Structure 1
Amino acid sequence: MCLFCCRIFERRMGSRKFSSYLLGTCTIATILEICTVMLLSQFDIDYHNGGYLPPGLYGLIFPLYVNYFLDIPRIAVSSFIGVPLTGKTVTYLLGLQVASTSQATIISSLCGLVAGIIYRKNIFKVQRWLVVPRFIAKSFDKLFGWLLNSSEPKYKQMGATLELQRQEQTDILEQQYYYNRTQEFRQQRGQGYSERLVDDGVNADGILGYFLRQRQRPTENLEPSQENIQILVDMGFEHARAVEALRSSSNDLETATSILLRQ
């Protein structure tokens, strides 16, 4: 589950760079674990089950938490007794559960975190030395690429976390619902407005592209017009809410309708 939550990094880095990252962090984590066991043995401290650390993917998982903490945005979802809960909280709790199994797992987990910091900061130029050779990457790509490759996502802008991806899917469904409402409105009021509203066709790509351009379009501070207010009222929205949405969107009808649908 922890690896699944960190799958975004392979898409960001690319397969070769990501495999080099795993190779480097696992190597560094293994060296740190050996040094830690040797150091504890000098002081006759046995936190590691008679000289052995527990086997597992600690050197693979916990270095990813460094990038996960620094690169994945923190989006507040709710709070519990004053402590904010975000979309990343569950991932941190999973890692904490894995790390807190025993004293030996704590040592392995800490070594993994330190390995992630060393590789990210490129201390001792580790990113230059611990890298997967290009010919090996090409060989594996030819042997297994056909089995693991998949088609590109339909929408290029993809959120880093599952929560962001769900929000993007919700926005697309919301925009499609907006389009259906305007189609119904056109049948009642005649053509003109909806054709001006959707200029890229009736497919989802056109709808999404239109709204992305509308968000980037500069607006001026304009008072709501009676025509736009009446259009929103005819679409089923309350008069007061329509005026407030138009005022907050500088009399932009499309943005105001999106605001009302979100509410």
Structure 2
Amino acid sequence: MNGGQSGFNNAPVARAFVIACGFFTIVFGIQGRSSRLGLSYQDIFEKLQLWKLIVSFFALSSTPELIFGLYLIYYFRVFERQIGSNKYSVFVLFSVIVSLLFQVLALALLKDPTLNITSGPYGVIFSSFVPFYLDIPVSTRFRAFGIRFSDKSFIYLAGLQLLLSSLQRSILPGICGIVAGSLYRLNFLRIRKLKFPDFIASFFSRFSWPSMGSTVSAASSRNVPRNIPSHTGRRVEGNYPAPPTSSPVEPSEDSIATLVSMGFERNSARQALVHARNDVNAATNILLEAQSH
């Protein structure tokens, strides 16, 4: 299961986020300071090292955490494509602030001098698991060793590995991230109505260097205006990949039923699946993007 189009095409905020996390992790790792970046009661309330609230959010404390963390951020770029870079920037900022506030509150309540919360972008990563669980459908299922899995299982396993990477040091920020994602989902303080100005997304585009995915997709496919009906039956204009030049693949009934169960109109679901070559995840992206226009 992938996150849609390869690379960071139409996901400049996620790309900048990955670059920032990789950069800070490598820099502090070389200096041997990764283990000292975590948050503790003494650091925040006694030494007042408030700079750690910002720096520690980007730097992961070990190589395995870096691998799984960047992989999950890369996968969850699909949400930026669905809601747009401006609203995704609000989601990221909200997740960062709320998760950090809950972590500081937990430190204040526990007052445990031995508790040192691990560093890293746990807030954004585990916030993203909320829309991943609720919005991304299962497209394939299979059995291994007598256990049923789906294509979403690999993402959950990567998240579980990251959540348990440092035991109690990593579980707390992970839970705070899930709480932040749930509050965003519930439209706390009408946060889902907000979006940053357009120049924010353009700033991230200039901040991060072009990815191979953007170059390849520009060369391999040409976007043309198309009309895709939304789940309400209203036709909405947007830029979507042109259908393949070969004969279209007739969508399976199971795939159509999956999209219909999410609330999309049957004919809209079928057309989206034709354009997505029967890929349920890509079809979901098409339909959600059509709604946002």
TM-score under structure 1 length normalisation: 0.52
Pick the structure with more strand per residue.
Answer: 2
Write out per-residue CA displacement over residues 192-214 of structure 1, whole angstroms, 9 at most, x where no aligned residue: xxxxxxxxxxxx9332xx425x6
1:147–1:206 CA distance, 2 compared to 1 (3 A): closer
Question: Alpha carbon RMSD of aligned pairs, Å?
Answer: 2.9
More helix by share: 1
**Whole-Å Cα distance in 2 between the matches of residues 37 and 112 of structure 1?**
15
**Partner deviation per Cα, 1:159-211 (whole Å, 9 max, x = no partner):** xxxxxxxxxxxxxxxxxxxxxxxxxxxxxxxxxxxxxxxxxxxxx9332xx42
| Equivalent of 2:180 in 111, 115, 127 | 115
Percentage identity across paired residues of the two chains = 30
What amino acid is the match of 2:85? S
Q: Which AA in structure 2 matches 1:59?
A: G
Query: Is 1:37 equivalent to 2:107 in the alignment?
Result: yes
The question of whether the paired residues in 2 share the 8 Å contact of 1:58 and 1:112 is answered with yes
- 1:25/1:115 contact within 8 Å kept: yes
* Alignment-derived partner of residue 26 in structure 1: 96
Asked if 1 retains the 8 angstrom alpha-carbon contact of 2:99 and 2:177, the reply is yes
1:105: how far off? 0.8
Q: Counterpart of 2:120 in structure 1: which amino acid?
A: G
**Partners of 1:20 and 1:132 within 8 A in 2:** yes
Given that 2:125 and 2:177 are in contact with CA atoms closer than 8 Å, whether structure 1 keeps it comes out as yes
Q: What letter matches 2:95 in structure 1?
A: T
Instruction: Output aligned runs, 1:33-182, within 5 Å.
Output: 33-41=103-111, 46=112, 50=114, 52-80=116-144, 82-100=146-164, 101-128=166-193, 131-141=195-205, 143-144=206-207, 147=210, 150=215, 151-152=217-218, 154=221
Aligned 8 A contact 1:32 1:111 in 2: yes
Q: Aligned in 2, Cα 1:84/1:39: closer, same or farther, shift over 3 Å?
A: same
Deviation (angstroms), 1:139: 4.2
- Give the letter for the 2:128 counterpart: L
**What corresponds to 1:4 in structure 2?**
74
Query: How far apart in 1 are the matches of 2:72 and 2:170?
Result: 16
Distance 1:135 1:64, change over 3 A: same
Q: CA deviation at 1:55?
A: 0.9
Report if the CA contact (8 A) 2:130-2:178 is conserved.
yes
Cα gap change, 1:147 to 1:81, in 2 (>3 Å) = closer
Gaps of 5+ in 2: 1-70, 224-242, 253-293
Alignment partners' CA distance in 2, 1:85 and 1:155: 35
The answer on whether the counterparts of 2:115 and 2:169 sit within 8 Å (CA) in structure 1 is no
Kindly tell me: are residues 205 and 128 of structure 1, through their superposed partners in 2, closer, same or farther at Cα, counting changes over 3 Å? Answer: closer
Other structure's SS at 1:79 match: strand
Q: Which amino acid aligns with 1:116?
A: G
Q: What secondary structure, in the 3-state scheme, does the structure 1 residue paired with 2:137 have? A: coil
2: CA distance, partners of 1:145 / 1:40: 39
SS at match of 2:142: strand
User: Which runs of 5 or more structure 1 residues have no equivalent in the other structure?
Assistant: 157-203, 217-263
Give the Cα–Cα distance (whole angstroms) in 1 for the partners of residues 140 and 244 of structure 2.
Answer: 29
| TM-score, structure 2 as length reference | 0.47
| 2:183 maps to amino acid | I
Distance in 1 between residues matched to 2:131 and 2:156, nearest whole Å: 13
Q: Which has the larger radius of gyration?
A: 1
Paired residue secondary structure (2:91): helix
3-state secondary structure, aligned to 1:64: helix
Distance 2:210 2:100 in 1: 31
Cα deviation for residue 115 of structure 1 reads 0.5
8 A Cα contact 2:87 2:192, kept in partner: no
SS at match of 1:211: coil
Q: Shift in Å at residue 32 of structure 1?
A: 1.1
The letter of the residue matching 1:93 is L
Higher relative contact order (CA 8 A, sep 6+): 2
Q: Is residue 211 from structure 1 mapped to residue 248 from structure 2 by the alignment? A: yes
